[in-house]
Amino acid sequence: MSANLSAIFYLISGILFILALRGLSSPETSRQGNYFGIAGMIIAITVTFLTVGNFGLGFIYVIIFLLIGGSIGAFIAFRIPMTAMPELVAGFHSLVGLAAVFVAISAFLRPEAFNLGSIGNIKLASLIEMSIGAAVGAITFSGSVIAFLKLQGIMTGAPITFKGQHLLNLIIGISIIILIYLLCTTQVSNYFWFLILISFVVGFLLIIPIGGADMPVVISMLNSYSGWAAAGIGFTLENSALIITGALVGSSGAILSYIMCKGMNRSFFNVILGGWGATDQTVTKSTKEQKPVKSGNADDAAFLMKNASSVIIVPGYGMAVAQAQHALREMVDALKKNGVKVTYAIHPVAGRMPGHMNVLLAEANVPYDEVFELEEINNDFANCDVAYVIGANDVTNPVAKSDPQSPIYGMPVLDVEKSKSVLFVKRSLSPGYAGIDNDLFYRENTLMLFADAKKMTEEILKNLD
Amino acid sequence: MEIDPFIFRLSIFILSIFVGYYVVWSVTPSLHTPLMSVTNAISSVIVVGAIIAALAGSAEKIFETANIFGFLAIILAAINIFGGFLVTQRMLQMYKKKKK
């Protein structure tokens, strides 16, 4: 296939990818969007085969390897529980990063296959592009691996910080630029290997100081990086499908990071440079006195909700951990049978990744038009009888509105305390991930339900009948 | 004077960032998780480079170092392509409207 014709097909597949994202503007069009994406991918792969035009033994191997990877991917896709989505996405990001590194290495070892010149005499622009692609890819890989380990709980979710961390990162960052410069002027391959090596280290160092609650930002950021890595490789390969996709994914991840940061009222750099510091935690410990707390049982909760005319459910990460979404939906069904109006309120940073709660609720067959975002529903709390907080904590803390000293001051929160009564399901009075005591626990209208989220919800369901 | 093809690619790149910006802002927040998984899948179009890398060189020596990296990249990208699209599909199937 001629280069011009294949370029046009790559453009078409790029456009199909744009349509795939466009489809996600509403659940109705989203499935069609996904098919556009698949079509774009099939076109891109087919065109590549036709352009290379090598249908010998190598082609058969390529098909075999595609099928091996494909079956692994399909197996994972069908098996993965929805609660593990953040881990899965982090894992997938790491693969994109590593694939970018491998393609860059291959292009470096055999530049003539990609029309980039010859070994030791690679075109300057291509060398810069592949260095950037490889470096960003390597950072994406090791960063995502750390994110994955933190999400899986294999590695502690607490921020890991040490003295001189920022200085070290700065030095490594500068040395990456110097290495790229040296590589471009001398074409010595060792600079390339060293560049990749320290990029792996950067990714590692970049993610370890970030705490578990900041994972939504980290995942979005790595999503963005994987896009930029792909775009870098796209420039090297002079492939418009890859350039378009890289730009789309890069900006998508950047926007999600922005939305997540805004959801926590923190600047991007504040998140990147490390989690909520240890100083904040000591402050909360000293102010923690014995304050009266009202606690209740499933019977009380069932009574309150049965007699309510409207209930708002506020789910959070704890619901995912307890796998309580199905029990929750059954409880809501029972309430609806009693004529109670039930809606769900979702904070932008609830869970461990953007949209995490929505997927879990959808999995439990909650219709998506009963689920509302913070801005849409926040005024309704004032008119609602019961707010049922299940697994959320920091995102309901009224302190964010009242106490300028609090580290979460200014963060948009759900106005849960405005509802007539608040049912707060929680295992103990321990503070949330931010390490901040929740003022809501001690309010007049709050009834604490100390139990596992799933067990409590099931108990309430029994008491509703 | 002739324009360097790089400038054309840069134009595509920058315009695509703008397209991405507006398209992604129109994505409803409840679909942000599928957005991430589908962007995962499409960024694996990097498989194109992996295929070229794997097939380059002479027909007798299929597994030279440069090819091996290509083949490895194919496996990684394929996991992502199939995994990404299928898990997105699985999620999107779950989003249902209220039965009236």
| Residue A374 · residue A348 · CB < 8 Å | yes
User: What does each C-alpha distance from A144 to A98, A205, A207, A223, B71 come to in angstroms?
Assistant: 10, 12, 8, 9, 22
| Residue A230 · residue A249 · CB < 8 Å | yes
Is residue A432 very low, low, confident or very high in pLDDT (cuts 50, 70, 90)? low
CB contact under 8 A, B33 and A353: yes
Smallest CA–CA distance, residue A443 to chain B, in Å, is 31
* Per-chain mean pLDDT for chain A: 88
Mutate to test the interface with B, among A358, A369, A377 (most CBs of B within 10 A): A358
What's residue A289's pLDDT? 54
Smallest CA–CA distance, residue A103 to chain B, in Å, is 6
Instruction: State the catalytic residue, choosing from A300, A385, A394, A465.
Output: A394
CB contact under 8 A, B33 and A359: yes
Distance CA A68, CA A75 (A): 11
A243 contact B CB<8A: yes
Q: Which residues of A touch B84 (CB under 8 A)?
A: 73, 77, 92
Report the residue from A65, A220, A250 with minimal CB separation from B74. A65
More confident residue, A208 or B41: B41
More confident residue, A8 or A443: A8
Distance CA A267, CA A271 (A): 7
B65 contact A CB<8A: yes
Report the residue from A25, A80, A247 with minimal CB separation from B16. A247
Report the residue from A33, A66, A103 with minimal CB separation from B46. A103
With residue B90 as reference, give the H or E element that holds it.
helix B65-94
pLDDT in tens, A167-188: 888 899 899 999 999 998 888 8
Distance CA A37, CA A15 (A): 9
Q: Per DSSP, what are the bridge partners of residue A312?
A: A343, A387
- A158: number of Cβ within 10 Å: 14
More confident residue, A266 or A314: A314
Smallest CA–CA distance, residue A68 to chain B, in Å, is 7
* Residue A257: both structure tokens together: 């990071």
Is residue A433 very low, low, confident or very high in pLDDT (cuts 50, 70, 90)? low
Q: Which residues of B touch A10 (CB under 8 A)?
A: 48
pLDDT above 50 for A162: yes
pLDDT in tens, A263-295: 888 887 777 766 544 334 444 444 555 677 888
For chains A and B, what is the number of CB pairs under 8 angstroms?
A: 374
Report residue A42 CA to chain centroid gap: 27
The residue of chain A with its CA nearest to that of B69 is: A102
Q: Which residues of B touch A133 (CB under 8 A)?
A: none
| Residue A449 · residue A324 · CB < 8 Å | no
pTM: 0.90
Sorted by sequence, the CB contacts under 8 Å of residue A449 that are 6+ apart come out as A295, A296, A297, A298, A301, A423, A424, A425, A426, A456
A394 a catalytic residue = yes
Q: Which residues of chain B have pLDDT under 50?
A: none
pLDDT above 90 for A242: yes
What's residue B46's pLDDT? 94
Q: Which residues of B touch A67 (CB under 8 A)?
A: 78
What's residue A274's pLDDT? 61
Conformation bin of residue B64: beta by default, left when phi > 0, alpha when psi is -120 to 50: beta
Distance CA A174, CA A453 (A): 48
pLDDT in tens, A349-395: 888 888 999 999 999 999 999 999 998 999 999 999 999 999 888 88
Mean pLDDT computed over A152-163: 79
3-state secondary structure A402-419: HCCCCCCCCCCCCCHHHC
Residues 374 through 433 of chain A touching chain B, CB cutoff 8 Å: none
